[in-house]
Amino acid sequence: MAEFLLTDANVAHHVLPKIAAWQSIPTLVLDPGESLKSAETLFQVWNWLSTLNASKTDTLLALGGGTVLDLAGFAGATYKRGIQLHYFPTTLLAMVDAAHGGKTAINLEAGKNLAGLILQPAPPVTYERTWLSTLPERELRSGWVELFKHGLIKEFGLALWMEPCSFRELPPQDLLERGIAIKSAVVAQDPQDKAIRQILNFGHSMGHAVEAASHPTDYPLLHGEAIALGMVAEAYLSHHFHRLSEPSMSFVVRKILMEFPDLQPDFDFFQLLPYLLQDKKNPAEGLKMSLLRALGEADWGVPITLEQAEASWKFVRTLWNR
């Protein structure tokens, strides 16, 4: 059974040379970045696999961040109706989040992750914390956001543990493992994302809209940066329109502001609106969000009006003096 390796140019430069056994595996190296999650690149991967006569029993190894894994998962699951997959996440975000749970996707013009599927079982995951040593600081900080979120929705002790940590440093191994365990446990309860798994979307309804709106600008936000802003907006909503106490909202806001003082949330709410409204998780009648009930506890499907969402975005912009 043959193996094929999908990665991007940065990872091929920084991480691949550390894995001696892989130097002779057929490898497709893609241009890095969110743009690799496209229909064009998906076709490129399918054609590459078929040119190499990859068969259903062969394995596609995905070495990279969430973009490479999302694309590889979709390409591998659909090529010949599914070949074997193995994920090797190299960013913090991918290690604690994207590699687990089987979600795959590419982006369409209308927005992020609009075409994809959920793999069951999810592909196996192998990682080395030391691979993170070459990750740019901005990417590292972005990955911490999902780790922090895992604590906020499920285990306040984990979020407390992170409070004194700097998001610019590598997380300790045990913290990393705890965050991964939380994600895996939530996914195991609801692999198809019909119910409790949606609590993982805390910060993502607003965050995905912010991320998409930022992409055509001169200051495109990283996924985790957009989710950081989304978490502040949704902490506001959790307090004002759900059950989160004011001190608990402040805990979230304080930590995000401390780690991300440099973000520039310069968009008006109307720029976010098209993305908020076409979020596939929202039924036609209005917005539904995953919000915090308390620190370490979250609910999903909480109805939120557009006026409330707009107020939360004003709150974010005021905090960052925009």
Ligand X SMILES: NC(=O)c1ccc[n+]([C@@H]2O[C@H](COP(=O)([O-])OP(=O)(O)OC[C@H]3O[C@@H](n4cnc5c(N)ncnc54)[C@H](O)[C@@H]3O)[C@@H](O)[C@H]2O)c1
Residue 121, preceding peptide bond in cis (omega within 30° of 0):
yes
Q: Which is nearer to ligand X, 68 or 295 (CB)?
A: 68
Candidate ranges 53-61, 132-140, 147-155, 248-256; the one touching ligand X (CB under 6 A): 132-140
Q: Which of 4, 5, 28, 32 binds ligand X (CB under 6 A)?
A: 32
Q: Which of 139, 155, 225, 279 binds ligand X (CB under 6 A)?
A: 139
CA atoms within 13 A on the CB side of 289: 30
What is the chain's alpha carbon radius of gyration, rounded to the nearest angstrom? 19
Is residue 14 involved in binding ligand X (CB under 6 A)? yes
DSSP per-residue string spanning 218-273: SSPPPHHHHHHHHHHHHHHHHHHHSS--HHHHHHHHHHHHHH-TT------HHHHH
DSSP 172: P
End-to-end CA separation in angstroms for the chain: 56
Q: Which of residues 58-87 bind ligand X (CB under 6 A)?
A: 64-68, 70
Is residue 215 involved in binding ligand X (CB under 6 A)? no
Tokens of 163: 């409070």
Could you tell me which residues are beta bridge partners of residue 61? Answer: 5, 86
Q: Which of residues 94-123 bind ligand X (CB under 6 A)?
A: 94, 97-98, 101, 103, 112-113
Distance of CA 19 to CAs 25, 45, 179, 249, Å?
11, 22, 25, 43
Rounded Cα distance between 217 and 16, Å, is 32
Distance in Å, CB of 250 to ligand X, minimum: 26
Is residue 141 involved in binding ligand X (CB under 6 A)? no
Q: Which is nearer to ligand X, 136 or 303 (CB)?
A: 136
Asked if residues 113 and 278 have their Cβ atoms less than 8 Å apart, the reply is no
Is residue 93 involved in binding ligand X (CB under 6 A)? yes
Q: Which is nearer to ligand X, 101 or 203 (CB)?
A: 101
Distance in Å, CB of 133 to ligand X, minimum: 8
Is residue 150 involved in binding ligand X (CB under 6 A)? no
x/- site string to ligand X, residues 223 to 262, per CB under 6 A?
x---------------------------------------
DSSP 283: -
Distance of CA 283 to CAs 174, 228, 276, Å?
38, 24, 11
Is residue 90 involved in binding ligand X (CB under 6 A)? yes
Candidate ranges 89-97, 154-162, 188-196, 299-307; the one touching ligand X (CB under 6 A): 89-97
Candidate ranges 93-101, 118-126, 253-261, 274-282; the one touching ligand X (CB under 6 A): 93-101
Give residues in contact with ligand X (CB under 6 A). Answer: 8, 10-11, 14-15, 32-34, 37, 64-68, 70, 90-91, 93-94, 97-98, 101, 103, 112-113, 131-132, 134-135, 139, 142, 223
